[in-house]
Structures are given as C-alpha cells and as structure tokens.
C-alpha cells in the first residue's frame, strides 16, 4: 500500500498553485491557475481557483491524499456570515483604502504590533459590519474553511499583521476591544491539525474522508519553508517584483519604521524586510529574453561604474527609510549590457545593505543566502550578489510556496518545533 501524500495549496497575488508530495517530499503533481484580474481578485476568484486545482488532481493521486495545508497572501482579510459567505468585499494586502485607519491604530495601539490587516478589518466593519457578520478571517482561513466545512483557527503567521502578539501568539486586549476584534479566530501554530475534510467538500471533490487539514501559513513563509532553511543565520532572498529578505534569527527584531517584523518560527524568529526595488524595474526596461541575452554579456567579476537605485516609483522603506527617495536610472549607457550590469549591481548592493540592517537591528547575521524568485537562475546576478554579500548564494531545488505548504501539511508542527514558552524573548 502506498504511503499517504500531502497537498499544498498556495494562493498568491497573481494566481493559485497546487503541489502534491509523497512521504519522502518527492513532487508527484503540480498545477497552476491564474486569476483573471489579479488586482481585483475576490473570494469568488479564490473559490473558482480552488475548484479548478482540486478538479485537476488525478483520481489515483486524490485517493492517496492524507494531509492538506493552505497558504495565502499575508494581510488579505474579509468578513463573513455564519455560513462563511463574505459580507462586503475582501481587502487584499495591496488595497490602500484602510491606510488612514492604519495610521490611527499605530498611534493608539502599542508597538511593535503589525496593524495593516487589522486596519482593513476595521474598514470593512465600518462599511459592512452588523449582526450578519460572525467571522473575521484571513484569506488562508476562508479557503481552509471551504474544505473543513467550518471556520478554523488561524495560524500565528497570518495573525501577525492583524495585530497578534508574536511572542505569546495571542490577541492583545486592545485588539480584541475593537469592533472586528471580537470576531477574530483562535490562534494556533502553523501545521496544527484542524480536523478532517468536511463531508460536503469530500463529496464534491471526491476527497478521502480521512484527509486531515492542517493550519497553514502566509505565502511568503511558505516560500521560506520550501527552501528547507532551518538554522539561525540562514536567509532567503526572493528576487521578485521587489526584493524580499527573510532571515532566521535567534533574537526577535521589529522596526516598523523600516517595515521590519519577525514571525515566530519554532524556537527561532523569522526577521523580514522588503525593498521597493527589484525585478519590476527590470521588467519595465527589458523583456525576459532580452534580460537573458544581456546577462550573458556581463562580466560579473568586475564593478560597474554606474551609481543607480532602481525603484519603480519614488519612495523606499528598507534598508533605508526615505519616502521621497527618487529612482536613479540614469545615466543610461548606449550599451544595454553595461546598463543591466549597473542595475543588477545596484540591486545586489541593496540586498547586502538589507542584511546588514537586519544585523544592526539585532538579528543573527546572515551566514548563507538561499535564493528564490524569477531572478534566481541568472548566473551573472548571482555572482554579483555573492560579491556584494561576501557570502555563498545557493539556488534551492524547490522554491514554490505550494511546495512549502505541502511540506507543512506533511510534517505538521514537527516542521516548526515549539519550544518552551520561556524560550521566547522580545529583545
């Protein structure tokens, strides 16, 4: 008899992915579906994507599923009624309608709470609150609920930006006192067993009745889990539209002025920061094919004389905080390869400065960097980064968040072992 398999479901900004692995973490199946309007996505789009992904599972593989976990975008929230039907829209992490409320909460609630998602829930409550509203949920919670048949607890990774206390993994009294705060779910560790798949979902998708749902995580943390990094000093840089840095640290660091926060990660802390610079600028200037061709002409052992800072628009928050910082995209040499050399070198410098900033704030210094995202397979960029970082840069075999969610589903809380409560310190 074949051992049970684990399904990871990843709901990101542009679409959703599924990954099935066996007990040795070998990938058995992968699928992807794009959202029709990523910047206007709704719970209806999430439900359609879930239906498509589960429907794509081969019947023999579906029958082997033993565990499932969901990751989704951090800070995307919604209100629902008792039947889990959305009341009002979902507010995605990039939705700016609650920005003024977030500033209000920052002035009234204690630091270092992360409050962006809480502000979105407060905005939703003011616009759509009332007796019909029973649940305040994160995107990952709602998708899990469709499989479980009831509202689940949330995981402490998703709870962080909704105002949870990271050290105690609980809702502070000041958060509970707000109108949507009383509707927030209980908080559990990522990987916690939530229960078996609900009867309706089991029938609809022909899923095994014994399939166990486990608490998930955020998409960014699922990507980190996918790399297999487990020790203090191991870091993951995601080379996507922006530069996202995550560093496992023995100590917790929080610096809201830089957008730096720490997720509870077993006995460690996952310090995170993101620059506004990144691949979005490269995509504005060159096609993928052109980037590949130009990169092959770069001598990564030499320094570019260009002094660039490739922002897509004014403003930077990490590793420097300057909301008025202007992009530096000039001068542009006639040779596009020389120009790309300067851009990639600048991005490598921003990445190195980011890890220095995390160390300055008290995090364990980076000792090795794993790399994911669209730029991870660019050899010239990799070498420029190694020179800037003074550290080895490793390309990992699995980088997709869906694979990380599948690992979390398979291993459960063993993947992120919980230490004694006294082992957590806020300094």
pLDDT for residue 72: 96
Give the torsion sign (CA, 178, 179, 185, 190): negative
Of 189, 188, 206, which is closest to residue 197 (Cα–Cα)?
A: 206
Burial 138-161 (b: 16+ CB within 10 A, else e): bbbbbbbbbbbbebbbbbbbbbbb
pLDDT of residue 420: 39
Whole-angstrom distance, CA of residue 139 vs CA of residue 124: 14
Q: Is the bond preceding 112 in cis, omega lying within 30 degrees of 0?
A: yes
User: The tokens 């730096």 sit on which residue?
Assistant: 260
Structurally, what CATH architecture does the domain formed by 5-221 represent?
Answer: 2-Layer Sandwich (3.30)
Domain boundaries, the chain: 5-221, 229-395
Using an 8 Å Cβ cutoff, are 319 and 253 in contact? Answer: no
Beta bridge partners, 369, equal: 235, 393
pLDDT at 2: 61
* Count of helices and strands (H, E) across the chain: 14, 16
pTM of the entire predicted model: 0.88
Please, is 296 exposed, middle or buried when counting C-beta atoms within 10 Å of its C-beta (0-12, 13-18, 19+)?
exposed
Residue 81 burial by Cβ neighbours in a 10 Å radius (0-12, 13-18, 19+): middle
What are the pLDDT tens digits along the chain (427 aa)? 467 899 999 999 889 999 999 999 999 999 999 999 988 999 999 999 999 999 999 999 999 999 999 999 999 999 999 999 999 999 999 898 999 999 899 888 877 788 999 999 999 999 999 999 999 999 999 999 999 999 999 999 999 999 999 889 899 999 999 989 999 999 999 999 999 999 999 999 999 999 999 999 999 899 899 999 989 999 999 888 889 999 999 999 999 889 899 999 988 999 999 999 998 899 999 999 999 999 999 999 999 999 999 999 999 989 999 999 999 999 999 999 999 999 999 999 999 999 999 999 999 999 999 988 778 889 999 999 999 999 999 988 888 899 999 999 999 988 874 443 333 333 3
5-221 and 229-395 in the same fold: yes
State which fold the 229-395 domain adopts: Nucleotidyltransferase; domain 5 (3.30.420)
């Amino acid at each position: 008899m074949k051992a049970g398999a684990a399904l990871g479901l990843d709901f990101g900004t542009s679409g959703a992915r599924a990954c099935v692995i066996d007990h040795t973490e070998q990938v058995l199946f992968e699928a992807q579906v794009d959202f029709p309007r990523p910047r206007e996505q709704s719970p209806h789009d999430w439900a359609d994507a879930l239906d498509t992904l589960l429907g794509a599972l081969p019947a023999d593989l579906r029958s082997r599923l033993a565990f499932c976990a969901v990751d989704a975008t951090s800070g995307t929230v919604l209100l629902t009624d008792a039947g889990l039907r959305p009341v009002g829209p979902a507010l995605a992490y990039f939705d700016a309608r609650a920005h003024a409320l977030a500033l209000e909460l920052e002035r009234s609630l204690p630091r270092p709470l992360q409050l962006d998602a809480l502000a979105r829930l407060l905005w939703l409550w003011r616009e759509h609150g009332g007796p019909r509203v029973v649940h305040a949920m994160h995107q990952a919670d709602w998708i899990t609920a469709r499989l479980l048949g009831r509202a689940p607890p949330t995981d402490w990774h998703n709870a962080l930006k909704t105002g949870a206390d990271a050290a105690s993994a609980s809702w502070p009294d000041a958060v509970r006192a707000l109108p949507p705060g009383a509707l927030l779910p209980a908080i559990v560790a990522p990987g916690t067993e939530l229960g078996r798949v609900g009867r309706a979902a089991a029938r609809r998708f022909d899923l095994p009745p014994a399939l166990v749902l486990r608490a998930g995580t955020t998409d960014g943390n699922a990507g980190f889990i996918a790399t297999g990094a487990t020790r203090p000093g191991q870091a993951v840089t995601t080379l996507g539209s922006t530069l996202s840095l995550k560093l496992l640290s023995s100590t917790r660091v929080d610096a809201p002025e830089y957008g730096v926060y720490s997720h509870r990660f077993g006995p460690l802390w996952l310090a995170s920061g993101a620059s506004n610079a990144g691949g979005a600028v490269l995509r504005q200037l060159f096609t993928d094919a052109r980037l590949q061709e130009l990169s092959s002409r770069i001598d990564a052992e030499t320094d570019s004389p260009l002094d660039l800072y490739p922002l897509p628009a004014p403003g930077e928050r990490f590793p420097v905080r300057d909301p008025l910082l202007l992009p530096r995209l000039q001068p542009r040499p006639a040779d596009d390869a020389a120009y790309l050399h300067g851009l990639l070198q600048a991005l490598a410098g921003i990445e190195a400065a980011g890890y220095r900033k995390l160390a300055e704030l008290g995090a364990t210094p980076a000792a090795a960097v794993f790399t994911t995202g669209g730029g991870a397979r660019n050899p010239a960029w990799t070498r420029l980064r190694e020179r800037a970082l003074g550290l080895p840069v490793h390309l990992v075999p699995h980088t997709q968040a869906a694979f990380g969610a599948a690992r979390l589903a398979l291993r459960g809380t063993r993947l992120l072992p919980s230490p004694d409560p006294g082992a957590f310190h806020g300094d």
